[in-house]
Homo-oligomer: A and B are copies of this chain.
């Protein structure tokens, strides 16, 4: 079986991506990054999804991005916006996050002799993050193909972003067909320790709108409004 490294946050998009990679026949090596994110509960969700979707292995690697801060997700003094989605890149943007995560995936892929990395970025129903765009993914792939011993020895690495041009509703429909249990995924930027969602942050709003548009009952576990 061909090995692939799958970046798995524990949210809806990356769980769907893992299910797609499994469905395409890859042996899936799921990688989660503990970057001191505010919503650390997503890592427990990642663990569950890796097991339920059938990853061959799941690793959590720590890199403390709170050392740099600069984002509502890595600096607790910056509040997560809950007033609705606004134009522009929000304060939940984490500087260079996808670049750091893809770099770690690249390292593991090389050790595994894998030539395939999957990432659940999406450029339709998303928050305008620069590192979710197709041109960014293409540039990372090009760089990666100059970066490694494997590349020099002639093996071509591919970055797969199977959700990149799907709407949130299309992602959900695809995941449902593949049997993903979305009740166990955590998308909320300020999920509590039990993984219960706030229902008000941008990520909760995009997710809820997706279930509505997909005409699927929203299985998200919300916490009681406080």
Q: Given that A67-B61, A152-B89 are contacting pairs, would A96 and B147 also be in contact in the complex, using a CB cutoff of 8 Å? A: yes
**Which residue from B94, B110, B135 sits with its C-beta under 8 Å from A96?**
B110
Interface membership of A151, Cβ < 8 A: yes
Which chain B residues border A151 with CB–CB below 8 Å?
Answer: 130
Closest chain B residue to A33, Cβ basis: B63
A194 in the interface, Cβ–Cβ < 8 Å?
A: no
* A133 partner residues in chain B, CB cutoff 8 A: 146
Q: CB distance B62 to A110 under 8 Å?
A: no
Flag the segment in A19-27, A100-108, A174-182, A195-203 that touches B.
Answer: A100-108
Task: Determine the chain B residues whose CB is within 8 A of the CB of A107 once the complex forms.
Answer: 65, 68, 70, 94-97, 99-100
| A96, A98, A152 pick with most chain B CB within 10 angstroms | A96
The answer, among B104, B140, B146, for a CB contact under 8 Å with A63, is B104
Q: B146–A143 contact, CB under 8 A?
A: no
- Within 8 Å by CB of A100, from B62, B100, B135, B139, lies B100
Complex contacts, A142 vs chain B, CB 8 Å: 139, 142-143
Question: Is A148 part of the contact surface with B, judged by Cβ < 8 Å?
Answer: yes
CB nearest neighbor in B for A108: B68
A47 is an interface residue with CB less than 8 A from chain B: no
Partner of A143, one of B65, B104, B143: B143
Q: Which residues of B contact A89 (CB under 8 A)?
A: 149, 152
A222 in the interface (beta carbon within 8 A): no
Q: Which of the residues B59, B62, B95, B148 comes within 8 Å of A131, measured between beta carbons?
A: B148
Q: Lowest 7 A-B CB distances belong to which pairs?
A: A70-B111, A96-B107, A95-B110, A139-B143, A63-B63, A96-B106, A136-B146
